[in-house]
Amino acid sequence: MSIIDLLIVILYMAGLIIVGLYFQKKASANIESYFLGNRNLPWWALGASGMASNLDVAGTMIIIAFIYALGAKGFYIEIRGGVTLIMAFLMIFMGKWNRRAGVMTLAEWMVFRFGNGKQGKIARLIMAMASIIVSIAMITYFAKGAGKFVGEFLNISPELASIIMICIAMVYTVTSGLFGVVFT
């Protein structure tokens, strides 16, 4: 890795932290501000953030592998067989739906959708448990993929790269809440 490559990576990581610190004051106003961005983030930003959260470094690596193995046509495998169309739909429509619902979590969405009766409470419990399991699995998967990817660039072990990425993500997420998540 050349010095310019390293400088770009360092500037990017520093930029993430700066964005997190920039939004810290907005996020610290109250719990709704921290978790929901004061409910005034643009719908397109919420949708784009939701789409981006479903894309990761591991997906980038497989696209690169397809392009390397198959040439330019390898990219079309991801567009045709991947989640691109689904993510575009979510980006356009889910931001508005999420804001209108007035809920803070997927578990609350279940009560909003199915009511406050027995069915809604069961759906909320199942969603809460599933969210915990899926979140642990996704964070592990993303950390492992990011560790391999960043480790190659920085010429460090994948484990150390994962720890660095997790720490940076924690700094901007914990300090700025949803504002930092959406705008990074």
CA gap 172, 178 in Å, rounded: 10
Position 84 scores a pLDDT of 64
Q: Are the CB atoms for 162 and 147 separated by under 8 Å?
A: yes
CA gap 80, 9 in Å, rounded: 31
CA gap 52, 20 in Å, rounded: 17
Position 130 scores a pLDDT of 94
CA atoms within 13 A on the CB side of 53: 17
pLDDT in tens, the chain (184 residues): 688 888 888 898 888 888 888 888 888 888 878 877 887 888 778 777 777 776 666 667 777 888 889 888 887 776 666 666 676 676 677 667 767 777 878 888 899 889 999 999 999 999 999 999 998 998 888 888 888 888 888 889 999 999 998 888 888 888 888 888 888 7
pTM: 0.66
Position 85 scores a pLDDT of 65
CA gap 171, 176 in Å, rounded: 8
CA gap 29, 24 in Å, rounded: 9
CA gap 105, 138 in Å, rounded: 17
Query: Quick one: which of 126, 146, 128 has its CA closest to 138?
Result: 146
Burial class (CB in 10 A: 0-12, 13-18, 19+), 95: buried
**Would you list the domain boundaries of the chain?**
3-183
CA gap 172, 77 in Å, rounded: 34
Position 67 scores a pLDDT of 86
Position 74 scores a pLDDT of 80
Position 119 scores a pLDDT of 92
Q: Are the CB atoms for 9 and 153 separated by under 8 Å?
A: yes
Position 128 scores a pLDDT of 93
